[in-house]
Structure 1
Amino acid sequence: MTEEATGLDARTAHRAVLGRTVRELRLARGLTVRGLAGALGVSPATLSAVENGRTGVSSARVASMAAALEVPVQRLLAPGPGGTGPSPVPVGRPVDAVHGDWRVFEPLVLPAALAGALSSFLEFGYHGATMRTIAERAGLSVPGLYHHHASKHEMLVAILDLTMTDLVARATAARDEGDDAVTRFALLVECLALFHTHRRDLGFVGYSEMRSLEPAAHARVAAVRRGVQHLVDVEVEDAVAAGHFGTDRPHEAARAVVTMTTAMPQWFRPDGPASAEEVAAQHVRFALDLVRHRGGDTGGAVPTIGG
C-alpha cells in the first residue's frame, strides 16, 4: 500500500470514529441533529455528513463540538474500542475537571501552533499578531503553521473553545458537589476564581478578544459564557427564595459576582502577596457579602474553601 493510500485510510478511520462519537454523545444528551447543528452554527446536512464520516472536521470545529456536547476535547479525539482514531492532542488538562479534581490545574500544554498564537495574542493583541509572529513563537514555518490552521481567526476560536470547554467542565463539577444553593454558589465562585488565576492567560484572551471574533463564532462562544453565568444565576435566585441571600437584585448581583472573577486575569500575579487559593477564598467572602448572605439567621452553610 502506498504512503498516500495509508494516509487516506487513516483519515477515513479518523472521520468514522469522530462521527460515531459525536452521534453517541448527541443522542445521550437528547439532542436532535437540527438542535446540535444550530448550536454549532452549521447546517443539519453538514452535521449529518460529520456523523456519517463523510467530511473532515477542523480542530476549531472539534473544540466547538466538545463545548456544545459538554465534554473535554479529548473525549472526541480518543481512539475507539478497536484502537482506531486519532491520538489525543494535549490541550492543557481540561480532563482534570471530569476525571479528577476541578481544583487541580496542571501546567498548561497546548499544541505548538495554539501556544504560539496565545503567546502572540497576549503580547501584541489579536490585531497586532501576525501569522509570522505566531509561527516564530510556535517554532514553525509560516507554511507549516497554515498546515495546522487556516487563519489567525481559526486559532483564536480554537483557544476560546478550549478555554470554555475547560471552564464549563470545572464549573459543572464544582456545582455538583454542593447540597444546597449557598454551598453551590460558594463552590462556583471558588471555581471561577481559581480558573481565572491558574488559567489567567486563557482568561485574559477570552476577556479581551471576544470582540475580535467573527459574528457566528462570537454568538456561539457568547452563548457558552451565558451558560456559565446561568449556573450562578440559578443558585443566587434559589438562595434568595430560600431566605439565605438578602439581595433584592439577584440577577444584577450574580452578574457582578461573575464579572468580579473574570477581571482577575488583569491583575493577579502568581508571585504576588496571595496565592490563587487565598485569592479564591477572599472572593468567595466578597461574593457572599455582595449577595447579602444571611447564614447566621437561616442556617445556610458555607463550605470550607479548598475542599
Structure 2
Amino acid sequence: MTARELQERNADEERELLGRRLRAARQAKGLTIRDVAPEIGVSVGTWSAIENGLARISEDRLTGAARLFDTDPAELRGAPLPNESDRRWRDFPPLQLPAPITGALNAFVELGYHGATIREIANRAELSVAGVYHHWPTKQHLLVALLDLTMDDLRERCRAARAEGDGPVERLERLVECLALFHTHRRELGFIGASEMRSLDEPHRTRIAAARRDVQQMVEDEVAEGCRRGAMLTPLPREAARAVVTLCTALPQWWSPAGELTPDAVARQYIEFARDIVRAPR
C-alpha cells in the first residue's frame, strides 16, 4: 500500500468513526435525523451521509452539532464510544438502550418486523404511541438503528479479536470465538441481524450489507492466507469461510441461556468445528 493510499484509508476510517460518534450522540439525546438536519443547516440526506462516514462535516457544523448534543467537538472527534474496540471484545455488559429501541428489539424478535406495530413497540417500551413517534418517525428508523448498533458492535469486536491472533489459524480461532460469543451473548441482536436484513429499505440495506461483508471478508482472508501457507488444507477456502460464518450466525436460532451450554463452551466447540471445516492440521 502506498503512502497516499494509507493516508486515504486513515481518512476514511476517521470519517466513519466520527459519523458513528455523531449518530450515538444524536440517539443519546433522543433526536432523529429530521430533527438535526435543519438545525445544522444541511439536508436530511447529507446528515445521513455524514453519520455513515460518506461525507465530511465542516468545523462550523461540527461545533453546531456538539452544541445541539450538549457535548464538545473535541469529544466527538477523539473520545471513545461505549462498546468500541478499546474495551475487551469478550466482555458483554448489559445493553442499555433507549426505551423505544428496547421495545422494538423485543417486538421484532417475537413478532418479526412486519408483524410488529408501533403500538406493540410502544407498549413494550411503556410509552404512548405519540411518545415513540416523537423521536422515531417510522418503524423503519427503529430497525435501521438496531442493525447499525448490531453491525457496528460486531465489526469492532471482530477487528479487535483478529488483531490478537498470531498467524491465520489463531486469527481464525479468535474470529470464530468472537462470532460465537456475540451470537449467544447478543442473541436478540444477532437474530434481527440475520432475519430482518430483507426488511431494510435502501440505501440502508446496501450500507448495512457492506458491514456484514466486512466481517465475512475477515474470515475469508484468514482462510485464504491459511491455505496459502499450508496451515489449512481445504480445497475450497471461500466456501469453507462462508460455512464457518454461517455456523456462527445461526446460533441465535437455537441457543438459549437456559440450556446446558454456556457462551464460552459454545465458542470452544465452534473453534473446533471451524478447524475441521478448514482442515487445519492438529
Percent of aligned pairs sharing the same letter: 47
Asked if the contact 2:12–2:53 (Cα under 8 Å) also holds between the matched residues in 1, the reply is no
Q: Which residue of 2 aligns with 1:29?
A: 10
Give the CA deviation at 1:79: 2.6
Alpha-carbon RMSD across the aligned residues, in angstroms, is: 3.5
With over 3 angstroms needed to count, the CA separation of the structure-2 counterparts of 1:250 and 1:261, relative to structure 1, is: same
Q: Which residue of 2 aligns with 1:46?
A: none
Q: How far apart, in 2, do the equivalents of 1:235 and 1:271 lie?
A: 34
Give the letter for the 2:214 counterpart.
Answer: G
SS at match of 1:110: coil
Q: How far apart, in 2, do the equivalents of 1:229 and 1:236 lie?
A: 11
Asked if the contact 2:108–2:116 (Cα under 8 Å) also holds between the matched residues in 1, the reply is yes
1:281 has 2:268 as partner: yes
1:255 to 242, 256, 263: 242
1:186 has 2:157 as partner: no
1:116 has 2:97 as partner: no
Asked if the contact 2:197–2:205 (Cα under 8 Å) also holds between the matched residues in 1, the reply is yes
Asked if the contact 1:63–1:161 (Cα under 8 Å) also holds between the matched residues in 2, the reply is no
Q: How far apart, in 2, do the equivalents of 1:141 and 1:152 lie?
A: 14
Q: How far apart, in 2, do the equivalents of 1:64 and 1:121 lie?
A: 24
SS at match of 1:129: coil
Q: How far apart, in 2, do the equivalents of 1:170 and 1:121 lie?
A: 24
Give the letter for the 1:280 counterpart.
Answer: A
Give the CA deviation at 1:221: 0.9
Give the CA deviation at 1:30: 2.4
Give the letter for the 2:225 counterpart.
Answer: D
- Where in structure 1 are there 5+ consecutive unaligned residues? 1-25, 41-48, 70-75, 89-93, 296-307
Asked if the contact 2:49–2:55 (Cα under 8 Å) also holds between the matched residues in 1, the reply is no
SS at match of 1:98: coil
Q: How far apart, in 1, do the equivalents of 2:256 and 2:113 lie?
A: 22
Give the CA deviation at 1:265: 0.3
Pairs within 5 Å for 1:120-131: 120-131=107-118
Asked if the contact 1:63–1:158 (Cα under 8 Å) also holds between the matched residues in 2, the reply is no
Give the letter for the 2:72 counterpart.
Answer: G
Q: Which residue of 2 aligns with 1:79?
A: 71
Q: Which residue of 2 aligns with 1:45?
A: none
Give the letter for the 2:236 counterpart.
Answer: R
Q: Please give the per-residue CA displacement for 1:209-267, whole angstroms capped at 9, x wherever unaligned.
A: 11111132111111110010000010000000000000010000000000000000000
Give the letter for the 1:31 counterpart.
Answer: D
Q: How far apart, in 1, do the equivalents of 2:256 and 2:198 lie?
A: 25
Asked if the contact 1:233–1:250 (Cα under 8 Å) also holds between the matched residues in 2, the reply is yes
Q: Which residue of 2 aligns with 1:16?
A: none
1:197 has 2:184 as partner: yes
Give the CA deviation at 1:121: 0.6
Asked if the contact 2:224–2:237 (Cα under 8 Å) also holds between the matched residues in 1, the reply is yes
- Where in structure 2 are there 5+ consecutive unaligned residues? 1-6, 21-35, 57-65
With over 3 angstroms needed to count, the CA separation of the structure-2 counterparts of 1:289 and 1:278, relative to structure 1, is: same
Q: How far apart, in 1, do the equivalents of 2:103 and 2:205 lie?
A: 22
Q: How far apart, in 2, do the equivalents of 1:130 and 1:81 lie?
A: 37
Pairs within 5 Å for 1:1-307: 29-31=10-12, 53-55=40-42, 61=48, 65=52, 79-80=71-72, 95-295=82-282
Give the CA deviation at 1:273: 0.9
Asked if the contact 1:239–1:245 (Cα under 8 Å) also holds between the matched residues in 2, the reply is yes
TM-score normalised to structure 2 length: 0.77
Give the CA deviation at 1:286: 0.3
Q: How far apart, in 1, do the equivalents of 2:90 and 2:70 lie?
A: 24
Give the CA deviation at 1:66: 6.8
Number of residue pairs the alignment of both structures matches = 243
Runs of 4+ in structure 1 deviating by more than 4 angstroms, as ranges, are 60-64, 66-69
Q: Please give the per-residue CA displacement for 1:95-114, whole angstroms capped at 9, x wherever unaligned.
A: 34523210000011211111
With over 3 angstroms needed to count, the CA separation of the structure-2 counterparts of 1:191 and 1:138, relative to structure 1, is: same
Give the CA deviation at 1:139: 1.3
SS at match of 1:99: coil
